Amino acid sequence: MKKVKLYKAQNCQLNLAALEMIYVWNGFSIIGKNMELLDPISQLIEDSINKLISKKDQLKYYFDNYSLALLLKGVCLAMKGQLFQADMCYQEIISHAKDLKFDTYLAPWATVEQALLRVKMGEYAEASDLLDCAKSNYKGYALESRLHFKIHAAYTSISQSNLDGINSHLCIFLYNTLAVLYYVPQQLFFDNLASL
C-alpha cells in the first residue's frame, strides 16, 4: 500500500521498481552469476543515482529513491566482489534511515546486506551482531517477515560456517594425533631395533 501512495505522490512514477522487485525476490543471486546481465543493470542504477543527485532539491522523496538505488548498487558491487564499496553504499542508507518516508524497509535490509558481506569475509561474530541489530532495532516496516526469513538463512549460514571451521580443526587435530600415534611407536621400534 505504501508503494501505491509513493507512486501517486511522485506523479505516477517509481524509481527502479522492476529492479526492486527482482531484489526482494532474490533475483540478483541469479543475475549476479552472469556479468553480461549485471553490467547493464549496474549502469542503469548508476544513471538513476546521477539523475537523482542532479534533482535532489526538487524531489520530495529523494532519500527513499536514492537509498533504493544505493541498495541495488551495493548488491551489484557485492556480486562483483567489490565488498568495501558495497559496504559504503549500505552504510550510507543506514545513516539516512530517519530521512526515509515511505521505504523504511531499506535500512534494515541494508543492515542485513552488511551482515552478508561479513559472512563472505569470514567475520561471523560481526555478521551475527549486524543480524541481531536488524532484527531488534527495526520494527513495523514493509517486507519485515520476508527479511526475517533472510536473517534466519544468514544465521544458518553462519552456524554452518562455524561448524565447518570446527570440523576442519577437529579433522586436523585427529590427523595429527593419529600421525603421532602411528609414527612414534614405529620410530621407537626402529630405534630399539637399531640398538640391538
Please list, in sequence order, all residues whose beta carbon lies within 8 angstroms of the beta carbon of residue 46, skipping any fewer than 6 positions away. 73
Predicted confidence at residue 187, as pLDDT, reads 52
Cβ distance 66 to 49 under 8 Å?
A: yes
Measure CA 35 to chain center: 18
Backbone angles phi, psi at 13, to 5 degrees: -135, 145
Tell me the whole-structure pTM to 2 decimals: 0.78
Predicted confidence at residue 146, as pLDDT, reads 84
Give tens-digit pLDDT for 47-56. Answer: 999 999 999 9
Residue 132 is inside which H or E element, if any? helix 124-137
Q: Tell me, what amino acid is at 114?
A: Q
Predicted confidence at residue 7, as pLDDT, reads 47
The CA distance from 37 to 159, in Å, is 32
Domains of the chain from N-terminus onward = 2-195 (1.25.40)
Query: Along the 196 residues of the chain, how does pLDDT read in single tens digits?
Result: 555 554 445 554 666 888 888 898 889 989 888 999 999 999 999 999 999 999 998 888 899 999 999 999 999 999 999 999 999 999 999 999 999 988 899 999 999 999 999 999 999 999 999 999 999 998 888 878 888 888 888 888 888 776 555 555 544 554 455 444 555 555 544 555 555 5
The CA distance from 53 to 88, in Å, is 17
Predicted confidence at residue 189, as pLDDT, reads 47
Predicted confidence at residue 145, as pLDDT, reads 83
* Angle, alpha carbons 81-86-88 (nearest 5°): 145
Predicted confidence at residue 157, as pLDDT, reads 83
